[in-house]
Amino acid sequence: MIKVIGFDLDDTLWAVKPVIIGAEVALKAYLKDCLPNVDFSQERLLTIRKQLLEEDPSLSFKLTVFRQTLLTRTMTDSGLETSQTEQLAAAAMAVFLQARNQVIFYPGTFAALSELAEDYILCALTNGNADIKKLGLDHLFEFSLSAEQVGAAKPDPTLFEAALKRTNIKAHEMIYVGDDPLLDVDAAAQLGIRTIWKSNPKKQSDLITKPDAQIQQLSELPAAVAQIIERHC
């Protein structure tokens, strides 16, 4: 009996690349306006990013903390007072996150989620830092967990295990929907969670575990869920 449907967000419910590019453009414009004398060039940010990762490798999945720390360090290294940098970086980060949540949903997303929310608990399990509240999805999702919150990124099982624990269900009572063969399909299947692959042609070659169902469009999702239930339950 399926009780919970979990979702990856980026590239499953919307295309993430244009969103991140847009957020970086907004952030750059804000920083240029606010701190014209600080060098936020790509080259410099890359160097500082590398240093920070060497100091704390766990920053790689703490996306919000990582970006904010990167901004703070870039400002401090440019001679700004530490008392100022925290606040300035937080304000810049708010600009980034505002734009990061300006996504264009794939066609059929809301209809499919609304239909499924009538019968199942929906949750978001993401390695990214999209915010279901800012996205206007919080009325459809019962909860959302990020890699940053649980302390590990998919394919580590922690995010999935946290969702199973929170809903108090067994793995086979959950379906997970995602675009990444390795991080989503394979990682969830390893735990015994049923999987639906939102096909992503760029990632086809990495496919390891065969998903229980495959969809091209979100509009196909309710039928794919029904198909899995028919087969297994």
Q: Which residues bind Mg ion (CB under 5 A)?
A: 8, 10-11, 179
Does a cis peptide bond (omega within 30 degrees of 0) precede residue 157?
Answer: no
Give the residue closest to Mg ion by C-beta. Answer: 11
Rg (CA), the chain: 19
Measured from the CB atom, the residue of 6 and 30 that comes closer to Mg ion is 6
CA distance 155 to 177: 14
In angstroms, give the least distance from the CB of 125 to Mg ion: 10
DSSP per-residue string spanning 142-171: SEEEEHHHHT--TTSTHHHHHHHHHHT--G
Measured from the CB atom, the residue of 51 and 217 that comes closer to Mg ion is 217
In angstroms, give the least distance from the CB of 187 to Mg ion: 12
In angstroms, give the least distance from the CB of 94 to Mg ion: 24
What is the token pair recorded at 30? 């804000």
In angstroms, give the least distance from the CB of 37 to Mg ion: 38
Measured from the CB atom, the residue of 11 and 131 that comes closer to Mg ion is 11
Residue at token pair 């720390």: 69
Measured from the CB atom, the residue of 8 and 30 that comes closer to Mg ion is 8
